[in-house]
Amino acid sequence: MPLKKENILIVDDDVHILELLHRHLQSWNYHTYKAVSVKEAVTILRDTPIDLLITDLKMPEVDGFELVKFVSEHYPKLPKLIVTGYPSVQDSLEAIKSGVVAYLTKPFTKEELKTAMDDALKKAAISQKKTTQEKEKKYFYGDMIGSSEKINEIFQIIDRVKNNKATVSIRGESGTGKELVARAIHYEGKFAKGPYIAVNCGAIPENLLESELFGYIKGAFTGADSNRNGFFQAANGGTIFLDEIGNASLNVQSKLLRALQEKEVVKVGAQKAEKIDVRIIAATNNNLKEMIQKGTFREDLFYRLTVVEIEVPPLRERKEDISMLVEKFLFKYGVEYKDRFVKISPKALAILQRYNWPGNIRELENIIQRAVIMCDRIVEVEHLPDSLKYNVDFSEERLISLKDMEKRHIQYVLNATNNNKTKAAKILQIDRKTLREKLKE
């Protein structure tokens, strides 16, 4: 007797696609339910145990995205596979947050459908085996994504501070996503309707930073032909994000201290202070404590800014998040450049996970963007920069002999070239005979 197969619900207003999917699923011995509208689908879901939902997005009256959200709320364990001919970046990112585990872009082959279904059911099975503690973890927060312990700690801190106006200091290397943390604090909390103003203090000349932050009055300096508000006034009632705060001069720092202590600012050239209601989030990749020792940063301002401190880890310390970040960028740029969902081969992903990412998430995003442009449907090893493909990282390795390292690098190049000895020899700049001899050693 054949093993029991899963119940699959197919939803599409195109009856031809509906029948095509039905025939394919029947040939694999799945039990299928068909619906031409979201209303029909909801009726079936309420009366029938379903193991996988396959739905189109663009449908009349109520679209498939509303169905995805309904299922996420009422049947959170049910895996969802989207089949669409009109992919968009926003829909893709929102669908990820709603728990969609696989995608197909029309037209698709029978083999592509089977792979996507297997992927969706496999991910659902893995998800159901997670512990209660793991289920409580968040994997998305605003535009942030990750499942590592370090990123989950940041999510928990954001939960604590998002609904109050405590000053927050964010530290981290360039490219780690410090502004994403600031945006999550603002937009995920109860003050999200207020303005969010981001200011890169390092990009504004020192002599202009004060007037840009606090505004000026007519005649305050040459060229001040009228009164003008600054970034603080623009952020009133909301949040101001001061990136690269370490670049602010001591004079600007004293005015920032007043803004924090007295909740007021003074325009350049003015005598009267203006009351403000602004949450300040500051970020830097500098060591402010060292700057305090050198006398270039005020100690009293430092303690005012660091009521709550968030340390954003470099990507090399949260490598378990790389696959999720890669998937996010593949959706984003696949839809933008190819009008389809792009995937990545296991070998290419393995190379990305081995690399140490000195440029952090910004570098990863740039490389995925380039790879999507260079590929068709799947990012392969050949679409990655040579600096990644032939990179050898010694940072976390024990000290080994030069001969062992040579063997390791030869094997690495062979793996990257699918064991093509001619191509590997060319990359290693040796002939095939020498390569054979080295493999025998």
Residues 6+ apart with CB under 8 A from 322: 315, 349, 352, 353, 364
Torsion of the alpha carbons at 12, 13, 15 and 18, rounded to the nearest 10: 0
> According to the model, what pLDDT value does residue 397 have?
46
Work out the pLDDT band at 126, boundaries 50, 70, 90: low
Work out the pLDDT band at 2, boundaries 50, 70, 90: very low
**Mean pLDDT value across the chain:** 85
Write the pLDDT tens digit of every residue in 33-45.
898 888 888 888 8
> Which is more confidently placed, 438 or 163?
163
> According to the model, what pLDDT value does residue 396 have?
45
Strands 168-171 and 279-284 turn out to be parallel
> Which is more confidently placed, 271 or 99?
271
Write the pLDDT tens digit of every residue in 346-393.
999 999 998 989 899 999 999 999 999 999 889 999 999 887 876 655
Q: Where are the beta strands (DSSP E) in 1-69?
A: 7-11, 31-35, 52-55
Question: How would DSSP label each residue in 76-132?
Answer: TTS-EEEEESS--HHHHHHHHHTTEEEEEESS--HHHHHHHHHHHHHHHHHHHTS-H
> According to the model, what pLDDT value does residue 82 have?
83
> Which is more confidently placed, 38 or 280?
280
Write the pLDDT tens digit of every residue in 3-27.
457 889 999 888 888 889 999 998 9
Write the pLDDT tens digit of every residue in 201-246.
989 988 899 999 999 999 888 888 899 999 999 999 999 999 999 9
Residue type, 93: L
> According to the model, what pLDDT value does residue 431 have?
85
pLDDT at 137 over 80: no
Q: How many CA atoms lie within 13 A of 428 on its CB side?
A: 26
Note the residue count of the chain.
441
> According to the model, what pLDDT value does residue 134 have?
46
Q: Give the integer Cα–Cα distance in Å for 23 and 1.
A: 22
pLDDT at 326 over 80: yes
Q: Which helix (H) or strand (E) holds 309?
A: strand 308-311
Q: How far is CA 58 from CA 18, 50, 103, 426, in A?
A: 14, 22, 14, 50
Work out the pLDDT band at 98, boundaries 50, 70, 90: low
Long-range pairs of 255-264 with CB within 8 A, sequence gap ≥ 24:
255/210, 255/213, 255/214, 256/213, 256/280, 256/301, 257/298, 257/300, 257/301, 257/304, 259/232, 260/167, 260/301, 260/304, 260/305, 261/304
Q: Please, what is the Cα angle at 251 between 245 and 255, to 5 degrees?
A: 75
Q: Please, what is the Cα angle at 279 between 278 and 285, to 5 degrees?
A: 130
Least confident segment among 119-128, 134-143, 163-172: 134-143
Q: What is the CA radius of gyration of the chain?
A: 27
Work out the pLDDT band at 401, boundaries 50, 70, 90: confident
Strands 144-145 and 140-141 turn out to be antiparallel
> According to the model, what pLDDT value does residue 231 have?
96
Q: How far is CA 28 from CA 96, 102, 146, in A?
A: 27, 19, 35
pLDDT at 417 over 90: no
Indicate the angle between helix axes 346-354 and 402-416, nearest 10 degrees.
140
Specify the pTM.
0.65
Write the pLDDT tens digit of every residue in 296-311.
999 999 999 999 999 9
Work out the pLDDT band at 395, boundaries 50, 70, 90: very low
Least confident segment among 136-150, 223-237, 276-290: 136-150
Work out the pLDDT band at 88, boundaries 50, 70, 90: low
Name the 3-class secondary structure at 274: strand
Q: Give the integer Cα–Cα distance in Å for 149 and 155.
A: 10
Average pLDDT over residues 393-403: 58
Q: Give the integer Cα–Cα distance in Å for 339 and 343.
A: 13
pLDDT at 129 over 70: no
